[in-house]
Amino acid sequence: MTLRVERDGAAGVAVVTLDRERRHNAIDLATAAELAAVWRRFRFEDEVRAVVLTGAGTAAFCTGIDRGALVPQPGSPYSVDDPLVAIGPKANDLWKPVIAAVNGMACGGAFYLLGEAEFIVSSSSATYFDPHTAYGMVSAYEAVYMAQRMPFGEAARMSLMGTAERLSARRAYEIGLVSELAEPGELLGAALRAAGTLAGFPTEAVQGTVRALWSAKQAALQQALAQAPALIALGNLPPDRQADLFAARPPGREFRLR
């Protein structure tokens, strides 16, 4: 298993941990399937009234799709199979509140998860960035999710600047992407406190409020996401040219933190 799920029945809170620390919690096909399954399972577990989502270790919350994952694609230019499209709670019809506890790097496909969390509690040492453009790839789903959660100029800058810049936790807090900062050792505790509060309220009222909040933006979100497959098909370099760009970038290359 590549997810760790822990339940505190007394508190009504579950903690879901991406458990691939040595791969910076990157998501392979098995992890994608496990995420979809756990969100759908929580729909039927009345004792789970709020969820905290985090990553194992301190280096990364999630670094998106695992580069080693083999994703077969249909031959039609009108179709793109995206293995991350159903990894979030809302994509699986879960309307219980989900709080993301972000430790370390959150980049690329991590935004599928952050985009469907109610709010983000961040380690003060976390960083946020979107590497797609640096590797000849269109940031489509990621950019759409972040444009829903950040001022447009900030979402545009992060989506376009690729690996050249990373958004600091402090800056993410200043622009409203992050709702609370915590010291690294206190991150999970801070997220659990918020989740415990939500789990202690009448659950029908909490879930109704979650639905109301998402209804405020869901129509525009779905219209934007519908454009993503075509934009990816048109704008992505062929896989071999993407691989060349990855190979040409040495590990630990300098980036600007802002």
What pLDDT was estimated at residue 24? 96
For residue 126, pLDDT over 90 is answered with yes
Domain ranges of the chain: 1-67+80-184+209-258
> For residue 53, what are its two tokens?
């989502």
**1-67+80-184+209-258, CATH topology level:** 2-enoyl-CoA Hydratase; Chain A, domain 1 (3.90.226)
Tokens 């990364």 belong to 60
What pLDDT was estimated at residue 73? 75
Confidence of residue 33 (pLDDT cuts 50, 70, 90): very high
> For residue 111, what are its two tokens?
């935004």
Torsion of CA 105, 123, 140, 156, to 10 degrees: -110
Count of CB atoms situated within 10 Å of the CB of 94: 21
For residue 22, pLDDT over 90 is answered with yes
* Spatial CA neighbour of 257 closest among 122, 110, 108, 125: 125
* 171 within 8 A of 258, measured Cβ to Cβ: yes
Cα 35 from Cα 29, distance rounded (Å): 10
For residue 79, pLDDT over 80 is answered with no
Mean pLDDT of 7-21: 96
What pLDDT was estimated at residue 230? 86
Beta strand spans in 2-67 (E): 3-8, 13-18, 50-55, 60-62
Confidence of residue 252 (pLDDT cuts 50, 70, 90): low
What pLDDT was estimated at residue 75? 77
Count of CB atoms situated within 10 Å of the CB of 220: 12
Mean pLDDT of 23-45: 97
Element (H, E) at 144: helix 141-147
**pLDDT digit string, tens, across residues 231-245:** 988 898 888 898 888
What pLDDT was estimated at residue 251? 67
For residue 115, pLDDT over 80 is answered with yes
**pLDDT digit string, tens, across residues 129-164:** 999 999 999 999 999 999 999 999 999 999 999 999
Per cent of the chain over pLDDT 90 is 78
Instruction: Round the average pLDDT of the chain to a whole number and report it.
Output: 94
Q: DSSP string spanning 55-88? A: ESSSSEEE-SB-TT------S-TT----TTTT-S
Per cent of the chain over pLDDT 70 is 98
**pLDDT digit string, tens, across residues 157-200:** 999 999 999 999 999 999 999 999 999 999 999 999 999 999 99
Phi-psi region of 123 (alpha: psi -120 to 50; beta: other; left: phi over 0): beta
Confidence of residue 218 (pLDDT cuts 50, 70, 90): confident
